[in-house]
Chains A and B, each alone.
Chain A
Amino acid sequence: MTENLKIIEIEVLRYNPESDREPHLEVYKVPFSDDMSVLQGAQYIKDNFDGSLTFRWSCRMAICGSCGMMINGIPKLSCETFLRDYYPNRIRLEAMHHFPIEKDLVVDLSGFIEKLESIQPYIIPKEPRSLEQGEYLQSPKQFSDYIQFTSCINCTLCYAACPQFGLNPDFIGPGAIALLHRYNMDSRDGAAAERMELVASEEGVFHCSAVGYCSEVCPKHVDPANAVNINKTNAARDYFLRFLSPKGGSK
């Protein structure tokens, strides 16, 4: 069976924190069939050549957001990227840019998780309602205001695409701001003023210089760059509203 398969060279950026001073590239010759994803290529290496190769994956169908990596320098989900599209050229896998490498293709996401927590990614009701009062109603128009930004799977490819995040790791970044925007746009939510404090903060939207590559690489078409840039306008509006009304603006 294997003799019918084509062979593709996969170059992987390896880093073992216990033995390596810095990452280095290693090349593997991987037999593949047309239906094999890059993730399956990495799994083939792990199963057949080096069991210590470390990478994250789970669902294999572009919904869990675990298997993001740099594929020939472009942030992609490895499960929905196919080896056949690179053959006969060599393919290079690296850990997602702009994050510290934990081991091989696994990056340290703790900074992102903290940011995600800080934006309060849940509905904080405008007014608490009792069960007897029934559900919160929302019109299709109100729903359409935020639905696009709910599609985020936290894969962080947008961070790997954002040079401003690479240069300033404190920047809240495209993914978390897109989610922040999702909750601020929800008619049931009442915590926009609190979240706007973060938007306008030192780590907020003004780190963005509208490179726009985050929206380009987003596998779920969330368009995080749009969320970030709309919030530049919102933060500026809040800033100037302060002068017009004692209670206008964020604070």
Chain B
Amino acid sequence: MSKRRPYVRPMEGWWKKNPYFVEYMIHESTALFVAGYAFVLLVGLVRLGQGEAAWNGWLEALSSPFSLIIHLLFLVAILYHTYTWFKIMPITMPPIIVGGKKVGPGVITGSGLLAALGASLVMFALVFWLGG
């Protein structure tokens, strides 16, 4: 008769046991803040469609202290999400060959972050330009 009795360890709380997993969970959960901010913008679009008074109401709501705190929270969470997003980008992409050599992970992460920075600057410029 077999004396085997393989012991299966529980998975409860797995993500708290390794700093790498904690970072992964923070990365994944900050996606909710990205969705949250997108929702705020979407509400703005709906309010715009409802006329001037509704739009101005939305703008006013945005400048409340509560909204400012929430937006600061959004900013921090989205910055973290952006950073960790591009950090894992090298493992999620097919190899990019330039001049017969594989582009290193640092270059991919760096270019991603630069692209995010560039896109943000373009947005800022547009807002200032259009906002007069």
Q: Which residues of A contact B (CB under 8 A)?
A: 15, 17-18, 22-23, 73-74, 97-98, 100-102, 108, 163, 166-167, 209-213, 215-216, 223, 225-226, 229-230, 233
The contact of A212 among B5, B17, B91, by CB within 8 Å, is B91
A216 near B20 (CB under 8 angstroms)?
yes
A166 near B18 (CB under 8 angstroms)?
no
Residues in A neighbouring B8, C-beta threshold 8 A? 100-101
A166 near B91 (CB under 8 angstroms)?
no
Give Cα distance in the complex from A226 to B96, angstroms.
12
Please report the number of residue pairs spanning A and B whose Cβ atoms sit closer than 8 angstroms. Answer: 65
Give Cα distance in the complex from A230 to B95, angstroms.
9
B91 near A97 (CB under 8 angstroms)?
no
B7 near A22 (CB under 8 angstroms)?
yes
B88 at the interface (CB under 8 A from A): yes
CB of A164 to closest CB in B, whole Å: 10
Q: Can you offer 9 A-B residue contacts whose CB atoms are under 8 A? A: A17-B3, A17-B7, A101-B7, A167-B11, A211-B21, A212-B91, A215-B91, A226-B91, A226-B95
B24 at the interface (CB under 8 A from A): yes
Residues of B1-50 whose CB lies within 8 A of A: 3-9, 11, 14-15, 17-18, 20-21, 24, 28
- Taking A74-B18, A211-B21, A226-B91 as contacts, is the C-beta distance between A101 and B11 under 8 angstroms? no
Residues in B neighbouring A233, C-beta threshold 8 A? 94
Extra A-B contacts (5), CB below 8 Å, given A22-B7, A163-B15: A17-B5, A163-B21, A213-B20, A216-B20, A230-B94
Question: What class of interface size applies to chain B in its complex with A?
Answer: 20 to 34
Residues in B neighbouring A101, C-beta threshold 8 A? 6-9
A211 near B14 (CB under 8 angstroms)?
no
CB of B87 to closest CB in A, whole Å: 9
A163 near B91 (CB under 8 angstroms)?
no
Q: Which residues of B contact A (CB under 8 A)?
A: 3-9, 11, 14-15, 17-18, 20-21, 24, 28, 88, 90-95
A100 near B6 (CB under 8 angstroms)?
yes
Give Cα distance in the complex from A229 to B94, angstroms.
8
Identify the 3 closest CB pairs spanning chains A and B, nearest first. Answer: A100-B6, A17-B5, A225-B91
Residues in A neighbouring B18, C-beta threshold 8 A? 73-74, 213
Residues in A neighbouring B11, C-beta threshold 8 A? 98, 163, 166-167
Residues in A neighbouring B90, C-beta threshold 8 A? 226
Give Cα distance in the complex from A200 to B7, angstroms.
30
Residues in A neighbouring B17, C-beta threshold 8 A? 73
The contact of B88 among A17, A163, A212, A230, by CB within 8 Å, is A212
Give Cα distance in the complex from A210 to B20, angstroms.
12
CB of A206 to closest CB in B, whole Å: 13
Residue of A nearest to B8 (CB): A100
CB of A140 to closest CB in B, whole Å: 9
CB of B23 to closest CB in A, whole Å: 10
Give Cα distance in the complex from A228 to B27, angstroms.
20
A213 near B9 (CB under 8 angstroms)?
no
- Taking A73-B18, A166-B11, A233-B94 as contacts, is the C-beta distance between A210 and B88 under 8 angstroms? yes
A163 near B14 (CB under 8 angstroms)?
yes
Residues in B neighbouring A167, C-beta threshold 8 A? 11, 14
Residue of A nearest to B3 (CB): A18
Give Cα distance in the complex from A92 to B90, angstroms.
32
Give Cα distance in the complex from A166 to B8, angstroms.
10
